[in-house]
Amino acid sequence: MAGLLLARHGYANDCALVVPMLVFTIQRHSVPRWLKFWALVVLTPAPALMLATFKPFVGQILVVGFVIAALITELTLRDARRPAPGGVLPGAEG
């Protein structure tokens, strides 16, 4: 994923690198609906077709934006599941 985020290119073959992340995003129950919808959009041929145009900026934003949003969402979900310093999960009564 780092190569996709840091490279100055974004081609249709780069979309294949994101497919496992898209599938896992759609299958997880804790992921927000808007991110699942975004994953479905990126799974369609539309981003690859947008990347094949003379101005691929929209396709690049669609794919790279999803990767960034998914990574940020995963970090926030992971932090929410992390136990508090006392060993109690947030929101749990004890």
Q: What is the pLDDT of residues 32-83, one digit of tens each?
A: 999 999 999 999 998 888 888 888 888 888 888 999 999 999 999 888 777 6
pLDDT value of position 39: 95
pLDDT value of position 68: 92
- Is residue 84 within 8 A of residue 49, CB to CB? The reply is no
Q: Which amino acid is at 47?
A: P
For residue 5, pLDDT over 70 is answered with no
Give the predicted TM-score (pTM) of the model.
0.74
Q: Where are the domains of the chain?
A: 2-81
For residue 23, pLDDT over 90 is answered with yes
- The torsion region of residue 32 among left (phi > 0), alpha (psi -120 to 50) and beta comes to beta
Q: How far is Cα 4 from Cα 81, in angstroms, rounded to an integer?
A: 28
Within 10 A of 91 (CB to CB), how many other CB atoms are there? 7
For residue 13, pLDDT over 90 is answered with no
